[in-house]
Amino acid sequence: MKSLKSILALSFLFLTATSSLVCSDGLELKDFKEDVVKTVVVSPNGAANFKTIQEAIDYIPSGNQDWIKIILSPGIYNEKIVIPKEKQKIIMQGNNASEVILQYNDAGLSSSSGPIIVNAEYFAAINITFKNANFSKSTPIIPKKEVNVAPSIILMADKAWFYGCNFISVQDTLADYRGRHYFKNCYIEGAIDFIWGMGQSIYQNCVIYVRGRTSKRGRMLRGFITAQGRESEQDTSGFVFNNCVIIGNGMASLGRAYRGYSRVVFYKTNMSNVIVPQGWDAWGQKGHEDKITFAEVKCTGEGANKEKRVKWEKNLTDKEIDFLIHPKTFIDEDGWMGSLPSSLVSLL
């Protein structure tokens, strides 16, 4: 397998750069009014304010109303972190995602395994790798017996934002469990349901890497990129992938229906041949496919050939697509993104 750094370098040749002063959804510098009031530094060798990330989280007062930045020095942080709901407005930032690795060897539970659980609103992370180390010694093609539920992050709250982060595991990698979230220029790796949950999220300019896995007899097994859990027509949740890239060394469906009204849309995404021809799986919702919203719009690449796609894939109107792909309408209708610090505007 190519190194993570080389994969990212190749993949982002497909992606579109964003202006440093005007965001892709129309937000401008004047829209951002709050700023960071305090910064602390964490280093695993102890040459900082704190030695562990959890110590820095514990330091933040409950009911915090001001943005606090936690700078992570280069290193591997082997710890299990919980951010309680009363500790809002936290920014965790590294200088380079390949040098700042937050990991933990913990598998088996989709709601609590892994290195970090975010229960607080207004959480931001920049240039950090979140990794479930349970598979750190696996070969590029993973034997079926080694696959287990192993999140790299669990998002349990509304209003989270990620830039330049890596999420690495095999099954249930990114637990986009609940709330509105925005991911930009991120890398997400896994094999089974590795972007899953009931979240309402936009993935902008992200790289999705499908890991290969084999049966006991060595046969390549199909994986699933998404498992989204929208539960009704009134449920506003869904996963939207805008201008992303899908690559890998395995094969996978774009998604399977985790709940009855599952909603996943890929827009202007470049898909390699890792995507299986049928594209999607109704899973436990067979016979009720009319309630599922799985769609691909203006996608490119060998894997985007729709000739053999499932017949029940949705054809969305231009108005529906326009609503879903823009943060202002899909995830920022109340303007929460405008409360992010102005110092982050160039990254949006």
d(CA 161, CA 126) in angstroms, rounded, equals: 9
193 in catalytic set? yes
Largest CA distance in the chain: 59
- The residue type of 128 is I
Spot the catalytic one: 172, 176, 281, 332. Answer: 172
Spot the catalytic one: 25, 158, 176, 193. Answer: 193
Torsion 336-339-340-346 (CA) sign: positive
d(CA 237, CA 261) in angstroms, rounded, equals: 10
**Which of these, 224, 272, 282, 280, lies nearest to 252 by C-alpha position?**
224
318 in catalytic set? no
Q: Between the CA of residue 91 and those of 66, 73, 272, what are the distances in Å?
A: 11, 14, 34
| CB 163 within 8 Å of CB 127 | yes
- Catalytic amino acids? 172, 193
